[in-house]
Amino acid sequence: MKNENTRDKIFRIAADLFTKKGYKKTTVDDICEACNISKRTFYYHLKSKSDILFHYYDYIIDNITPLLIQMLNKESSWDKFMLIFEELINSIEKLGPDINGQILSVNLQNNENFLDLRENLTEIAVKTIRDGQENKQIRNMNNPDELYRSAAYMFTGYQYMWCVREGDFPWRDLFFNSLENIFDIDPDLRRYSDD
């Protein structure tokens, strides 16, 4: 690709290799060969293969501009909040359970903190929750910061189960059902709960 720096080239090509071969079966040598770079160049730009995983997660969280544009078109605060997680789920599912499982595993093993809540996304989510509480769409009146933190960590739990079951787990529906119940959503807005 024209004007692509070496680091971005490594990320792009590694993503393709991970998708085709799987994370574990893709070696640094494979990445270097496909990028036409030396190992020395690879390690100049990255500490390890797992650094590529960190980049994935940051990329998903940091590139929320399309999400913000979609949110402007939603009237319901609850729909705006759901859109945040819908976008995250779509991005995570594109990577597949193998790469996501590796992201979770590397974070667990090395405590890299790359699954920590991101300030910009937290700010948007908390404001949306607060608006939903004010307009009575969200009937759980607990602290919006704590509600979001609970939702975010519950999301990681469902993501984990989806990875463990190699994608054979209806995490989207289960997660949204849980959100509707925990946030005590106005029954007219519920799409996943039985009541």
User: Can you list the domains of the chain with their CATH numbers?
Assistant: 1-46 (1.10.10.60), 49-189 (1.10.357)
d(CA 11, CA 35): 10
d(CA 183, CA 180): 5
**Residue with structure tokens 């809540």?**
117
Query: How does residue 176 score in pLDDT terms, banded at 50, 70 and 90?
Result: very high
* This model's pTM is above 0.85: no
**pLDDT averaged over every residue in the chain:** 86
For the chain, how big is the Rg over CA atoms in Å? Answer: 19
Find which of 7-16, 79-88, 133-142 is predicted with most confidence, using mean pLDDT: 133-142
Q: What is the pLDDT of residues 138-168, one digit of tens each?
A: 999 999 999 999 999 999 899 999 999 999 9
d(CA 86, CA 192): 13
Q: Are 115 and 58 in contact (CB under 8 A)?
A: no
As given in the structure block, the two tokens for residue 146 are 């704590």
Q: What is the pLDDT of residues 12-21, one digit of tens each?
A: 899 889 888 8
Residue with more model confidence, 64 or 28: 28
**Residue with structure tokens 């500490």?**
47
